[in-house]
Amino acid sequence: MPSPFKVNEARTLNALFRHGPQTRAELARILDLTRSTAGNLVQSLIDSGHVQERPGLGDVGSRVGRPGVSVEIRSGGAYFIGAEIGVDRIEALAIDLAGEVCVSAERPHAGASSEPADTVQATRNLIRDVASRLPPGATVHGFSVAVPGFPDASGGLCQATGLGWHDVPLADLLSDEFGAERPFLVENDANAFAVAETYRWTGEDHGPEDVLVVLLENGVGGGIINGGRLHRGLLGGAGEIGHIPVGGEGFLFDGRRPGRWESYIGKDAILARDAHRRGATPRTLAAFLDALGRGEANALDTAREWGTWLARGLATATSILQPQRIILGGSVAPVFDAVSVEVRQQVAASLIDGYPVPMIQATRPGEGRPALGAAFLLHQSMLTGADAAARSDRDERVA
């Protein structure tokens, strides 16, 4: 489905999304357009049902007469559906034109124990459930699915090691039903997570940022935000930092690719190391985090060792990417709170003198969802006008 907006209409919506309600005069200033042109754009968007007036929110200042009337995005103007196929769960959600989640659903997933066909059917069912709960007459402007992997060089077959998938035609299996007349994307989960964490910069201070987002789950993925935009690389697989070699064997031995970063800091790795220290069977991550919170010695020692390897990989990534911020997310991210001081010190000590040390922060559980980032990618395409057109060729290869 082509974008329903002309370039300046998309720019107007983007300005309202970033800056919140604005008067027509304020939009003219932000967009560097004449007041009459801005007014015509606003009226066109009001007529199409994508923008609405909010009397009383204009800035009166010292002017005499009727205050300006602010306009805002009408939340029900369009919808975008994002989904995540994770190792432990599948989630689907819908956001509206204002970028707010309005419907969501999830279910457990057995990961590598599930057949791809069963996973695809479960994902279809969740997407249908979400779509069925949208308001009557709602227009869905696209579907996007995040997976713990990436399309191969041809853009058609999905490789997802965490799911045990090799050459699975995920895009074809899903787009046959959902993407015939609307945009349909398949995106790496860490890329989608990075978008979810960084897309909603708003206000006067909004500006491009360089951010490395590290998704810590069973495996480890990375999303690179360069100048405020997602960097995918030549074939869409940039950011696979969990596979960089940092040591000899890892906490979780991998005979094929020993010493990968995720074999030291992923969920399975930290639980394997914790079990080895205790001389016991592995416990759940929730039990480990509970023990860490209680100050259990074995848990603290495991976390400190985990932090050392986390710092080693972050220092390597910092030397290459020079990010302003590093955001840690996923189910393992809460471990960072127990060792944050040591990790920051070790990263700083590993860099050459004078090299900028990024801010390192962890998200809270439940924040930053790949399904949300998948939906934001569609939202971003609609609100960036020419950039959406520039991405279409690449998206056709991916999906």
**Which tens digits make up the pLDDT trace of 279-288?**
999 999 999 9
pLDDT tens per residue, range 111-134: 888 898 899 999 999 999 999 999
- The answer to whether 78 and 50 have CB atoms below 8 angstroms apart is yes
Same fold, 7-73 and 200-362: no
Q: What is the CATH number of domain 7-73?
A: 1.10.10.10
Length of the chain: 399
Domain boundaries along the sequence of the chain: 7-73, 77-182+369-398, 200-362
CATH class of 77-182+369-398: alpha beta
pLDDT tens per residue, range 314-364: 999 999 999 999 999 999 999 999 999 999 999 999 999 989 999 999 987
pLDDT tens per residue, range 229-258: 888 887 677 888 998 999 888 888 776 778
**Fold of the CATH domain 200-362:** Nucleotidyltransferase; domain 5 (3.30.420)
Give every CB contact of residue 14 below 8 A, 6+ residues apart in sequence: 383, 384, 385
Q: What is the pLDDT of residue 399?
A: 28
pLDDT tens per residue, range 10-62: 999 989 988 889 999 999 999 999 999 999 999 999 998 899 998 654 444 43
**Burial 108-139, CB ≥16 within 10 A → b, else e:** ebebeebebeebbebbbebbeebbeebeeebe
Q: How confident is the model at residue 367 (pLDDT cuts 50, 70, 90)?
A: low
Q: What is the mean pLDDT of residues 190-214?
A: 78
Least confident stretch, 146-150, 327-331, 340-344, 374-378:
146-150
Sign of CA dihedral 158, 199, 45, 34: negative
Average pLDDT taken over every residue of the chain: 85
